[in-house]
Structure 1
Amino acid sequence: MYFPVLTGSFEMAPMTDGPERDIDDPASGEEITEAEIVERIFEAVMERRLAAGTKLSESELCKAFGVGRMRIRRALLLLAAREVVELRSNRGAYVACPSPAQARDVIEARAALEPAVARLVAERAAPETLAALAAVLEEEAAAHARGSRHEAIRLSGQFHLRLAEASGNATLVRILKDLVTRSSLIVAIYGAAGLETCRDHDHATLLAALHARDGAEAERVMAAHLADIFATLDLSGRMPAGLDLAQLLARP
């Protein structure tokens, strides 16, 4: 698959897009944390303000966030672990950009696995597990109502991961964690403007089938749900280049 693989040598090799003199974080009365940097970049990617393939220049990120290179590098490593960023040897960091063929691989894998997961959950899930799924669904609906695309994408992925966990199959959970993360990025890159990874009413229909313990219906709803989402993707090309990083990511 396309998505980045971290190597042990990354932290030792400079990313070669600027001088090293500011390697330590500057003193600041209001320092932004690595987690905040990660979430702001992730949100910009999910909202399509940072396009696939955009170079994440260390020097520009330092300027945008008011921190030194070590903090930026640690944040980029965290983003690479989430497969949102690709680290290229001696070239730096880029927003990950799966090809259309690689995107189809992810789509086909989810379509093959998740309907079967839905059937297992209908057969196995305890009432408290279904209640937890309902709570995620309520949060997702609230995010849609607020127009928070980043939060809706995150909660949509969380719903699917919680569903996998409810199956009781650890192997499926491990595989789907990888696939759901990749799918979120694929939808952000190839989806129509304003498209979420999932529509919350589809999740509600699925949850109703789970409560009814109807495995066949749960399997059917999940298959149709995934088909509807993936049918909206435009896999004919790539997104255009992103805008200025400092403008996109600077503190408000």
Structure 2
Amino acid sequence: MLTEKEPRSRKARSTEQILGVDDDKLDAIYRRILTAVMEHRLVPGTKLVEEKLAGVFKVNRTQIRKVLARLTHEGIVTTIPNRGAYIASPSVHDARHIFQARRIMEPALIRTLVERADKDDFRRLHAHIAKERAARDKGDKHAVIRLSGEFHLLIAEMVGSPPLTKLMRELASLTCLIILLFDSPNVPACPNHEHTEIVELMQRGDLTAAVAAAITHLDHIEATLDLSLPEDTEVDLSAIFG
């Protein structure tokens, strides 16, 4: 009696087999590039050469393109046809909108976290602030910049909403680029003591004061930047070269 052949079972392929590298490795590359941005080691306008990055991270150019595409989608990288990918250079207009977005988003994150935070959560926040303080004491400027940005990201992560965490990561990275472009020399854009004040107010359950402190903190960061240029400044070449 003829029997119908059973379909040949197909081995499930892992992401690593399909892409040639696992998702964790792509994410690690993405995070290392973001960290370099947040530490001001990759400055606005830096060209990200695919071949060089592939060699550094020991992957192929296809994987690097995937990471760059993700960074481009988030606004951290600008891709110019026939020229390549560059670290973004946010404009004054961009900067104002980013701070506006943070003033809307961060109070909501604080309100949500205060409602659900426990002692361990506050220990994590204080431990992070201690790392910031230690980096300042050592004069490790790159670590200070990165840790200051990661403080705000940590609050988003503790809320436990992946979309909000993703958005906060983008905003924090773009803020680092903005600080690099528009910061006044020798002015600490994100003072450590203001983070401490925010956490202590949250821990006391003083929600109104904690939100007010967070907004004041963002106002202070923006105030240290030179965003006085007109929105669409046209360079007078005749005046420069005439």
TM-score range, shorter chain: 0.5 to 0.7
Post-superposition CA distance 1:57-104 (Å, at most 9, x none) = 568x58xx9869976885576466445432222111222111111121
Partner of 1:165: 157
Task: Describe the shift of the 1:208–1:71 C-alpha distance in structure 2 as closer, same or farther (beyond 3 A).
Answer: same
Determine which of 186, 204, 207 is the counterpart of 1:215: 207
| 1:123 aligned to which of 93, 115, 120 | 115
Question: Shift of residue 198 of structure 1?
Answer: 1.8
Which one of the candidate residues 72, 93, 105 is aligned to 1:101? 93
Shift of 1:147: 2.0
Q: 1:51 deviation in Å?
A: 4.4
Q: Any idea what the Cα deviations from partners look like across 1:175-221, whole Å, max 9, x if unmatched? A: 32221222122112221234555211111111111111111111111
Aligned counterpart in structure 1 of residue 168 of structure 2, from 169, 176, 194: 176
Distance 1:71 1:199, change over 3 A: farther
Indicate the structure (1 or 2) with the bigger Cα radius of gyration: 2
Question: How many residues in Structure 1 have an aligned counterpart in Structure 2?
Answer: 200
Greater relative CO, 1 or 2 (CA 8 Å, sep 6+): 1
List aligned pairs for 1:69-80, cutoff 5 A. Answer: 78=67
Deviation at 1:226, TM superposition (A): 0.6
**Structure 1 pair 73/54, CA: closer, same or farther in 2 (3 Å)?**
farther
Cα 1:49–1:122, aligned 2, differ >3 Å: closer, same or farther? closer
2:104 corresponds to: 112
* Deviation at residue 144 of structure 1 after TM alignment: 1.7
- In the other structure, the counterpart of 1:233 is 225
Structure with the higher fraction of residues in helix conformation? 2
5 Å matches for 1:53-72?
A: 53-56=45-48
Deviation at 1:136? 1.0
Residues 129, 58 of structure 1: alpha-carbon distance in 2 compared, 3 angstrom cutoff: closer
Q: What is the CA–CA distance in structure 1 between the aligned matches of 2:39 and 2:130, rounded to whole Å?
A: 21
TM-score (norm 1): 0.65
Matched to 1:139, the amino acid is: K
* Letter of the 2:88 counterpart: A
- Structure 2 vs 1, CA of residues 166 and 88 (structure 1 numbering), >3 Å: closer, same or farther? same
Taking a change above 3 Å as real, the CA distance of residues 194 and 81 of structure 1, as seen in their structure-2 partners, is farther
**Following superposition of structure 1 onto structure 2, how do residues 132-151 of structure 1 map, counting pairs within 5 Å?**
132-151=124-143
Structure 2: runs of 5+ lacking an equivalent:
1-27, 231-242
Note if contact 2:189-2:224 (Cα within 8 Å) is conserved in structure 1. Answer: no
Residues 179 and 225 (structure 1), Cα distance of their counterparts in 2 relative to 1, 3 Å cut: same
* Residue identity (%): 35
Amino acid of the residue matched to residue 193 of structure 2? H
- Report the counterpart of residue 187 of structure 1 in structure 2: 179
**Residues 46 and 149, structure 1, Cα contact 8 Å, conserved in 2:** no
CA deviations 1:151-181 (Å, max 9, x no partner) are 1222122211121233345543333222122
- How many Å apart are 1:222 and its aligned residue? 0.4
Give me the TM-score of the superposition, normalised by structure 2.
0.67
**What do residues 78-132 of structure 1 show as CA deviations (whole Å, max 9, x unaligned)?**
4664454322221112221111111211110001121232232223211111111
